[in-house]
Amino acid sequence: MEIAQGMAYLHHYCFLQVIHCDLKPSNVLLGDDMTSYTADFGISKLIFSNSADSLTSIDALRGSIDYIAPENGIGGNLTTKGDVYSYEILILELLTRRRPTDDMFSEVINL
């Protein structure tokens, strides 16, 4: 729950919009009271309100392969939708207790 609230703040209420670009389980920390915190903003991007359409990921993929949104591939526009996609994969991983690249999800069953 705190992860979603944190992403909502960064995407909609922060002075500068922040795109995390690498939301995954290893970047979620738990505090003493089991409150979750989002960490590792190393490849995140700050978006000014008038330049959101001009950011692309032409240099390299931004994020971890298992959690990166297909539209954030090389040459794709960086948007907050990529963080939402990564959050969805993170939730699916928590519910199924399997990584997105698990052998179980080969040809017959997939996430």
Residues 84-96 pLDDT 10s? 989 998 998 888 8
Question: For residue 59, is it within any domain?
Answer: yes
Which CATH number does the domain housing residue 83 bear? 1.10.510.10
By the 10 Å C-beta count (0-12 exposed, 13-18 middle, 19+ buried), 108 is classed as exposed
- The residue range of the domain holding 82 is 2-105
Q: Would residue 66 show up in a list of annotated catalytic residues for this protein? A: no
pLDDT single digits (tens) 22-58? 898 889 999 999 999 989 888 888 887 655 454 554 4
Q: Is residue 111 part of a domain?
A: no
Buried b (16+ CB within 10 A) or exposed e, 22-39: bbbeebbeeeeeeeeebe
Predicted local confidence at residue 75, as pLDDT: 63
pLDDT range class, residue 68, cuts 50, 70, 90: confident
Classify residue 50: in a domain, yes or no: yes
| 110 assigned to some structural domain | no
Indicate if the pLDDT at residue 111 is higher than 70: no
Looking at 22, 33, 102, 103, which residue is catalytic?
22
